[in-house]
C-alpha cells in the first residue's frame, strides 16, 4: 500500500521534503521516504486502525518482505542533513539522587548518654 498525501507530513528535521512517519515495533517514530525503493532496508505497512508501522529488514533473522508491505528507505539514509537529535544530556538535578559516599560534615554529633 502506498501512503497518500494525507499520510505525509513535513520532515521533522526541517529539510522541507515530505516524509511518512511510522511507528516501529518498539514504539518509536521513524520517518521514512514515502516512495518504495528496492534498496531500502525498512518494511512499512498500515495496520487496522490506520497507523503506519515499520520494521527493519536488515537483520539476519528479519522476516522477508510480506505481500502487504512495501520496502522503503529510512529518511535519514537519503537525506544526509536529517539526523536524529543526539540524546539529551542528563538532567542536572538527577545527580543529587545518584549513590555517593555519605558525608558526615554538617551533621550534629550523636548525643552522649550521661548517667
Residues forming contacts to Zn ion in the complex (CB under 5 A) are 11, 13, 15, 79, 82
Q: Which of 63, 66, 3 is nearest to 32 (CA)?
A: 3
Residue 5 or 115 having the CB closest to Zn ion: 5
Q: How far is the CB of 39 from Zn ion (least distance, A)?
A: 18
Q: How far is the CB of 20 from Zn ion (least distance, A)?
A: 12
Residue 29 or 66 having the CB closest to Zn ion: 29
Q: Which of 62, 64, 8, 58 is nearest to 35 (CA)?
A: 8
Q: How far is the CB of 14 from Zn ion (least distance, A)?
A: 7
Residue 55 or 74 having the CB closest to Zn ion: 74
Q: How far is the CB of 21 from Zn ion (least distance, A)?
A: 11
For 47-76, letters b (16+ CB in 10 Å) and e give: eeeeebebbebeeeeeeeeeeebbebbbbb
Residue 20 or 43 having the CB closest to Zn ion: 20
Three-class SS state of 101: coil
If you search the block for the grid coordinates 498525501, which residue do you land on? 5
Amino acid at each position: 500500500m502506498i501512503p497518500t498525501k494525507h499520510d505525509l507530513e513535513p520532515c521533522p528535521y526541517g529539510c522541507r521534503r515530505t516524509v511518512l512517519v511510522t511507528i516501529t515495533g518498539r514504539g518509536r517514530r521513524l520517518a521514512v521516504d514515502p516512495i518504495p525503493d528496492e534498496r531500502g532496508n525498512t518494511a512499512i505497512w498500515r495496520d487496522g486502525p490506520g497507523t503506519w508501522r515499520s520494521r527493519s529488514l536488515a537483520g539476519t533473522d528479519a522476516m522477508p518482505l510480506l505481500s502487504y508491505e512495501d520496502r522503503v528507505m529510512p529518511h535519514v539514509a537519503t537525506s544526509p542533513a536529517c539526523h536524529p537529535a543526539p540524546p539529551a544530556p542528563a538532567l542536572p538535578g538527577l545527580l543529587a539522587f545518584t549513590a555517593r559516599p555519605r558525608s558526615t560534615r554538617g551533621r550534629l554529633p550523636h548525643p552522649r548518654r550521661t548517667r
